[in-house]
Amino acid sequence: AQSVTQLGSHVSVSEGALVLLRCNYSSSVPPYLFWYVQYPNQGLQLLLKYTTGATLVKGINGFEAEFKKSETSFHLTKPSAHMSDAAEYFCAVSESNFGNEKLTFGTGTRLTIIP
Amino acid sequence: EAQVTQNPRYLITVTGKKLTVTCSQNMNHEYMSWYRQDPGLGLRQIYYSMNVEVTDKGDVPEGYKVSRKEKRNFPLILESPSPNQTSLYFCASSLSRFSYEQYFGPGTRLTVT
């Protein structure tokens, strides 16, 4: 069975500082990996995804993530935090021979930006 | 505008009183699903539907029912709500089960007393 672990339920960074949100997964087959963002009082929105090909994937709003098979990780980064990045971020994994019905979400990381 | 809508957005009810949360999408998506979000637990899938008249259980289906009679609608039914179903509920849709970008509705906050 697949699973996702997000280290740190709350992360605070100063405006302009590096954002690093950690995600580790377990999967018995090659995984598909995703980051979703949830702004206050809204539904989730896809930030970026990795399925196959280039292991460094770029998403919206300047975020990127790197799939590292040897570390079973898919950490989310942004070089310079902006106040508008304050939100909750969810990492998710699906096994490559399944579709959305097998998508497993992590417990989320709430990102706070300090002015 | 392409969107997923849910109604109601907020609902307070009492134990045992049947309720339905509606979900509708205007993107002609085949795949739809329901999730509940609880603090510290993330999102957990309740039910999903790969197409009209095709539904299946997710990870936490107990106490819920769904139907998919039309492509655009996927209502969530709680026949006899209990306090442990107090949660934030999200409906989502995608073009197909292999289209991994899901579009989420705004959420329904349900309180069962």
Dihedral sign, Cα of residue A84, residue B38, residue B69, residue B99:
positive
pLDDT for A39 = 93
Segment A17-62, tens digit of pLDDT:
999 999 999 987 888 999 999 998 888 999 999 988 999 999 999 9
Segment A27-37, tens digit of pLDDT:
878 889 999 99
pLDDT for A13 = 97
Question: Can you spell out the DSSP letters for B26-64?
Answer: SS--SEEEEEEEETTTEEEEEEEEEETTEEEE-S--TT-
Interchain contact, B100 vs A43, CB within 8 Å: no
B2 touching chain A per CB within 8 A: no
- Judged against a pLDDT cut of 90, whether residue A72 lies above it is answered with yes
Mean pLDDT value across residues A64-74: 95
- Judged against a pLDDT cut of 80, whether residue A1 lies above it is answered with no
pLDDT for A102 = 81
pLDDT for B52 = 95
- Judged against a pLDDT cut of 80, whether residue A97 lies above it is answered with no
**B70-B48-B32-B79 Cα dihedral, nearest 10 degrees:** 60
Percentage of chain A exceeding pLDDT 90: 78
- Judged against a pLDDT cut of 80, whether residue A96 lies above it is answered with no
B90 touching chain A per CB within 8 A: yes
Among B41, B90, B94, the residue with its CB nearest the CB of A100 is B94
The per-residue pLDDT string of chain B (113 residues; one tens digit each, 9 = 90 and over) reads 889 999 999 999 999 999 999 999 999 999 999 999 998 898 999 999 999 999 999 999 999 999 999 999 999 999 999 999 999 999 999 999 888 889 999 999 999 99
Interchain contact, B99 vs A107, CB within 8 Å: no
Amino acid making up residue A72: T
Q: Which chain A residues touch B if contact means CB-CB below 8 Å?
A: 9, 32, 34, 41-46, 49, 51, 90, 94, 99-101, 103, 105-108
Nearest CA in chain B to A89: B42
Q: What share of chain A is helix, strand, coil (3-state, %, to 5)?
A: 10, 55, 35
- Judged against a pLDDT cut of 90, whether residue A98 lies above it is answered with no
Mean pLDDT value across residues A62-86: 96
pLDDT for A38 = 94
Q: What share of chain B is helix, strand, coil (3-state, %, to 5)?
A: 5, 50, 45
Determine which helix (DSSP H) or strand (DSSP E) holds A45, and give its type and residue range: strand A44-50
